[in-house]
Structure formats: C-alpha cells, structure tokens
C-alpha cells in the first residue's frame, strides 16, 4: 500500500472531500456502506419508475379516460335492473370508480 492518500474523483464536490478527509476510519467505512446502499436504492427506484412509465404507455387502453390510471379494470354494476360499466382501481385503502357506459346487448 502507498503512503500517499487516495486521489478523490474529480467530480466529487470539495465539501464532501473535506468532510471525508476529516473523518476517522470507522466513519469512512460507515459512509462507504451507506453510500453503496443509497446508490442501489436510487438505481432500483429509477428502474421501477422507468418500468412503470413504459408499462403505462404500452398497456393503456385507447378508451381509458385521462383521470383513470392504467391499472384500472372494468367492472359491471347493476343499478335499478340496469347494468353499467365502470373503471375501478385501488387508491391507497380506497376503491375508486369512474363511469364508462351502459352494458349493451351487442
């Protein structure tokens, strides 16, 4: 091992480099562990967001209204002996519905 300290990456902000240089070895190991875990977390979030965006674009039905999420399914409700289609989806703990139209015999 060299007696010289390692050279920080050129794009690392000076304030971070200074803070790291002032840290003891245990703190540096904690920072390294945290930084690796945080990087993996952010990469995973970015992949999930990209996947959700692509899924929404690819699977969104043509007749789905703008205020209804792509994950909605169609259900049939019977009201006063008449049947109607509704878009339905979960929003947290709530079930949301949006009127689609009457069920026809076609």
Q: What phi, psi does 63 have (nearest 5°)?
A: -95, 10
The Cα 20–Cα 68 span in angstroms is 48
- Give residue-wise pLDDT tens across range 41-67: 888 887 777 766 555 444 556 677 888
**80 CB-near residues (< 8 Å, 6+ apart):** none
Q: What phi, psi does 99 have (nearest 5°)?
A: -60, 135
- Give residue-wise pLDDT tens across range 3-30: 888 999 999 999 999 999 999 999 999 9
Does the pLDDT of residue 68 top 80, yes or no?
yes
Map residue 79 onto helix, strand or coil: strand
Greatest mean pLDDT among 19-23, 92-96, 97-101 = 19-23
What local confidence, expressed as pLDDT, does residue 51 receive? Answer: 66
What local confidence, expressed as pLDDT, does residue 25 receive? Answer: 94
62 contacts 47 by C-beta, under 8 angstroms: no
């Amino acid at each position: 091992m060299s007696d010289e300290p390692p050279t920080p990456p050129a794009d690392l902000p000076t304030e971070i480099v200074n803070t790291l240089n002032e840290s003891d070895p245990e703190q540096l190991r904690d920072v390294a562990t945290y930084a690796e875990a945080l990087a993996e977390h952010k990469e995973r979030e970015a992949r999930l967001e990209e996947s959700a965006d692509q899924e929404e674009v690819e699977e969104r039905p043509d007749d789905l209204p703008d205020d209804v999420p792509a994950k909605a399914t169609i259900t049939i409700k019977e009201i006063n002996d008449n049947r109607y289609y509704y878009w339905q989806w979960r929003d947290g703990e709530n079930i949301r519905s949006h009127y689609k139209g009457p069920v026809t015999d076609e």
